[in-house]
Structure 1
Amino acid sequence: MRSPRVRLLAAVAAPIILLTACADDAGDSADSTDDSTTTSAGPDDAATTASVDGDLSQVGVERSDDGEGTEVPTLTYAGEPFPEGDLPFGVAETTVEQVAEGDGEEVAEGQQVTVRYLAVNGTNGEELLSTFPSDDSVVMDLSNPQLLPAFLESLPGQRPGAELIMAMPPGEGFGETGNANLGIGPTDTVIFYVEVVEAVDPLSEAEGTEVDPVEGLPTVEADGSSPASITIPEGEDPPSELVVQPLIEGERDEVEAGQSVTVHYTGVKWSDGEQFDSSLEAGQPFSTVIGAGQVIPGWDEGLVGQPVGSRVLLVVPPDMAYGNNPESELAEETLVFVVDILAAG
């Protein structure tokens, strides 16, 4: 019987606002007009959105200094602060308004798009989340089918510098249950203001600067397209602490706790060097939320802070792997992984 996989410790993806659609699959493809696109609401949403007719063209953006030298946007309705507008605001179909065009190369389907965003609850006008006060950004993977449908359909064809306002009904946003942690109810339309920063092609393997190997650690031969060959040093006892050793140092942004990461990996046992799992053998990259207890602690601790594009050697002692699961075939094993970090956002 095959040994348990890393993914067996992964829970259902956390409700990351830009990455996990809690509703049913999207409806029809976008129909383009000069300044906006619409997609049909999901069937489960018809009862809660049929009577709403919010006018997204009345929604605008104002910018002001937050008192600390950072310019932050807020949404307005008919020129007034959004909470003072015609509430509740709702739409029966996802609607997108273009605020600014941007320039440079167009975003292509399947790319990784860096954005800044502001999200507002259309029912009460309250701000839900914003990356602007902290000058942060979010990477959206347009190859990820769990990305909210409006982003999958509306971001391709945009250019860096583009600004969009999107309104999403529950059926294409957070579904019948909403998201209590974010303050979203089951009938709430969510409005996003989005600025496109840049877009890059996704990685299929590690890409960056090679790092000299460290004596005493497992040696690795990897081509990025087949499972890595990992050789355990003869006569060496496994380390009692987690070892995190970059083999290739990537050049993209560092992985942060709470992000969704996409990786290719190979795992072997220190005891005999036997491979117990590899995403490359399965032919599909593995995605999970990192730093959130959804994978083994050795991954949560070892991958956070590594730049995207890195190839990382992880030597994980049992207490940071499957040691807390005595029924696992790997419970007493020190595990060795080679992980290519392909995306994070």
Structure 2
Amino acid sequence: MRSPKFRLLGLAVAPLIFLSACGSDDGGAGTDDASESTGADDAAATSVAPNGTAEDVTLTEAEVEGATVPALELDKTPLSVAETSVQEIEAGEGEGATAEQDVELRYLAVNGTTGEEILSTFSTDETVSMSLANPNLLPGFLNTLEGAKPGQSMIIAMSPADGFGEQGNAQLGIGPSDTVVFYVEVVGATTPLTQAEGEEVEPEEGLPTVEADGTSPAQITIPEGEEPPTELVVQPLIKGEGKEVQSGQNVRMQYTGVQWSDGEQFDTSLQEGRQAFETVIGAGQVIQGWDEGLVGQTIGSRVLLVIPPDMAYGDAPEGSPSADLKEETLVFVVDILAAQ
């Protein structure tokens, strides 16, 4: 089994702020060692001993391009907390989110050391989704958002240990000793799909045949004696009932990939120890065949993709992890589980 081959160039804004620093081996958007060290050292130099809680933060308003949006005012700067604390603003109503669900929310993040805003969704009124089942989610969210109800809003003062830890996050200007303060408005919670669900579709003749149960790697059989197609083939096997995937969305999927030449499996997300694969689609973060083939498909669908080399790894440089797939037509079965 080879390692994942997708050309990940970076993470979407929402996962970057919500996920702990767990290292990256994709060689994509990371900064060099010198810049990461400098950013962390500068932030750490201004950190202080614990001196407050979430109650030392006031929710205010600000004008951004003519719109009124939430803002946070720190009663003391720098603000440092020893343990993550929560100040509830609104209680919310309905069922609380469970540990298996995705929570949809709006958020504002501020660096407690500097008082500067890090990121906010309120200027565009967009929502983001986070999976409480994702073990890489910041512990401060895992410990505070389970049980959150629609309409609930809160200020979370997240300790470094529950946030980005000893590594900090140089891309966001967060040092290893920085408290990060979040204002969060909970929109709702949903139970995510774990495999494709919908109406079965009869595939065209001459394509690879697929046996898939959604819980183990799909069994893909290449048609004997057939030449590989020279253009992208997109064949839904199950038509999901969800919304269409749009370019620029963060999409969660399970997949299996094989080579047309010999049917050998070269990668799958459906193996022990791996999570469902997530990436921004239609933005050049994965191979072209995925970007073009999955945009417009519906959530819940199972899709067969047959991707010629020029839309896969035909341009992979010699010595790269994907170089051995340069001349291969690739066949994928992809279950689309969510898109945000």
> TM-score by structure 1 length?
0.76
Note if contact 2:22-2:136 (Cα within 8 Å) is conserved in structure 1. no
Label 1:123 to 1:280 Cα distance change in 2 as closer, same or farther (>3 A): closer
Map of 1:315 onto structure 2? 306
Unmatched segments (≥5 aa) in structure 2: 24-43
Map of 1:206 onto structure 2? 196
Q: What is the deviation of 1:339?
A: 0.7
Map of 2:162 onto structure 1? 172
Q: 1:91 aligns with which of 49, 64, 81?
A: 81
Q: What is the deviation of 1:189?
A: 1.6
Q: What is the deviation of 1:176?
A: 3.5
Q: 1:112 aligns with which of 102, 106, 111?
A: 102
Unmatched segments (≥5 aa) in structure 1: 25-45, 78-84
Label 1:255 to 1:171 Cα distance change in 2 as closer, same or farther (>3 A): farther
1:61 aligns with 2:52: no
Q: What is the deviation of 1:76?
A: 2.8
Map of 2:149 onto structure 1? 159
SS at match of 1:280: coil
After the TM superposition, which of the residue ranges 312-321 and 204-213 deviates more from structure 2?
Answer: 204-213
Note if contact 1:227-1:278 (Cα within 8 Å) is conserved in structure 2. yes
SS at match of 1:238: coil
Q: What is the deviation of 1:127?
A: 1.5
Q: What is the deviation of 1:289?
A: 3.3
Q: What is the deviation of 1:233?
A: 4.5
Any idea what the Cα deviations from partners look like across 1:142-181, whole Å, max 9, x if unmatched?
A: 1111101011111111111111111123332223443333
Map of 1:263 onto structure 2? 253
Q: 1:341 aligns with which of 314, 336, 340?
A: 336
User: Take 2:169 and 2:295, find their aligned partners in 1: how far apart are those partners?
Assistant: 26
> TM-score by structure 2 length?
0.77
Any idea what the Cα deviations from partners look like across 1:282-325, whole Å, max 9, x if unmatched?
A: 58544243457665443355445544322222212223334315
After the TM superposition, which of the residue ranges 183-192 and 302-311 deviates more from structure 2?
Answer: 302-311
User: Take 2:278 and 2:150, find their aligned partners in 1: how far apart are those partners?
Assistant: 27
Label 1:180 to 1:305 Cα distance change in 2 as closer, same or farther (>3 A): farther
Any idea what the Cα deviations from partners look like across 1:110-129, whole Å, max 9, x if unmatched?
A: 21111111111222222211
Map of 1:75 onto structure 2? 72
Label 1:57 to 1:19 Cα distance change in 2 as closer, same or farther (>3 A): closer
Note if contact 1:211-1:249 (Cα within 8 Å) is conserved in structure 2. no
Q: Percent identity of the aligned residues?
A: 54
SS at match of 2:141: helix
Label 1:127 to 1:204 Cα distance change in 2 as closer, same or farther (>3 A): same
Label 1:311 to 1:67 Cα distance change in 2 as closer, same or farther (>3 A): same
SS at match of 2:18: coil
Please tell me the residue identity of whatever aligns with 1:339: V
Q: What is the deviation of 1:66?
A: 4.5
Please tell me the residue identity of whatever aligns with 2:59: V
Alignment of 1:265-284 (within 5 A): 265-280=255-270, 282=272, 284=274
